[in-house]
Amino acid sequence: MNWVTLHALSLRRLLLLSLLPAMLLVGAAEVWQTWRTAVDAANAAYDRSLLGAIKSMDANISTASGGLGVELPYRMLEFFELTANGHVYYRVAMENGLVEVGNANLPLPPGKLVTGEPQFTDTIYFDEPVRVGTYVRVLDKPLAGQPPGQRLVIQVAETLQSRQDFTRALVWNSVARDILLLGAATALMVVAVGWALRPLRRLRNDVQARAAQDLTPISSQGIPADVKPLVDAINFHIDRSRQHAEARQRFVDDASHQLRTPLATLTTQVNFALREANPANQREAMLAIKAQLEETVRQTNQMLALARVDSAEVVMEAVDVRALAEQVTRQWWSDARTLGIDLGLDAPAQPMLCAAQPALVKEALSNLLHNAIRYSPRGAQVTVQLRQALNEVAITVQDTGPGMPAPERARAGERFFRGAGVSQPGSGLGLAIVRSVAERHGGAMRVAEGPDGQGLAVSMLLPRAVANE
């Protein structure tokens, strides 16, 4: 089972599959540590008994007669053999092996024998594992004919049955305790995991119980901190879906409201043209129908453009505003010349970068130029002006037309709002598209008086981008 398959499991199973092996490994390590502790404890206890037997034998060794005399403590050895639950061996000998009492050839510990320091080793004696305690001391009185400083070796050995029984019992008791603790820990872990996942189950139930049209944010109250980023991401997605749904609903409402009157007018004009027998009057009616159709098409296109701006996902990129403004301005030169409008571009020579989506900025600038050219009288001037500040780029279209009163400028950008003094037909969506584009880019739209207090100046402020080094 790979990691992808594991992460596809439920959180409960994933946590249990992750934690249970770890707990089993910890339990195995605990058993091993218990066994080592039990062996050390048994050796410490039984080695003290061996050392006591050695000290008891040492107290009964004498060299007063010139030879080595050992008075064995038989009762102590019998008791020691009984407690050892096996055989007990002893050996008293000179270090050079000239005098030896007891069990011959009892193995000495490896390495150097240290005077006055007991040593305990595990070895094999007569094909039987034994524990040997060895103690070395200097004889107070050397044997006859021997130089001073002779060392005496005292050894007592016992079989390991009693130690092993003690160790086994201690280990099994510890294992039984660890198994109980592991079982209790597992049960508590299962309960804790289930309790910790309750907020997720509640979250799932809340989401499943929602109506299809419910796009309100999900409450993050009582949600674990680790899951809160997921809830925030879901709420962000819900908010985008709500905005798209609202944009679609606005488009439907706007279309039903704004297209009803033009279509009714077209129906009336068509009926009039069909009833009219005079070719001249019929032609006049057809021209009126054509003009109405063109305005209806433009109004529909603007509503579609506004719906796209409201619902489209804005993908930012570094855009050369100077090149973009020059391109759009060139596209409107023909219309401006036809209407007798002086259209120009006032921009720095160097590129100006802003963070934007080019298609949306072109749509907004085209609407600004369309409004300025359409509502300005013959002989007026329309200028596309580019300026940049520390953090923003300003695209301004200013004209010397009739302008807009201050109260109406405050409402500029509202959907379907048109000034009281406007004589040309229109939808009132041009500035709404500009404001929506600016706001979708994190900027704003500003409406002010034109140059020298004449006409109108509409600015679209966009965030500035830094050129790559």
Which pLDDT score is estimated for 7? 45
Fold of 315-463: Heat Shock Protein 90 (3.30.565)
Which pLDDT score is estimated for 185? 81
Q: Where are the alpha helices (DSSP H) in 276-411?
A: 279-311, 321-338, 358-375, 406-411
* Structure tokens given for 171: 């280990």
Which pLDDT score is estimated for 286? 84
325, 355, 387 from 390: Cα distances, Å: 20, 13, 10
Spell out a b/e string for 266-305, using b for 16 or more CB atoms within 10 Å of the CB, else e. eeebeeebeeeeeeeeeeebeeebeebeebbebbeebbeb
Q: For the residues of 118-177, what is the DSSP string, one character each?
A: -EEEEEEETTEEEEEEEEEEE-SSPPTT--S--EEEEEEEEESHHHHHHHHHHHHHHHHH
Domain boundaries defined on the chain: 1-196, 203-256, 315-463
Q: Write down the pTM of the prediction.
A: 0.46
Mean pLDDT by 10 residues, the chain (469 residues): 49 71 81 82 83 83 72 63 71 80 84 89 89 88 74 88 81 83 82 78 78 76 75 81 72 61 75 81 82 71 64 75 91 90 89 85 87 87 89 90 79 62 57 82 86 86 71
Judged by DSSP in three states, 218 sits in coil
Which pLDDT score is estimated for 324? 92
Which pLDDT score is estimated for 11? 66
Which pLDDT score is estimated for 327? 92
φ, ψ of residue 389 to 5 degrees: the values are -110, -165
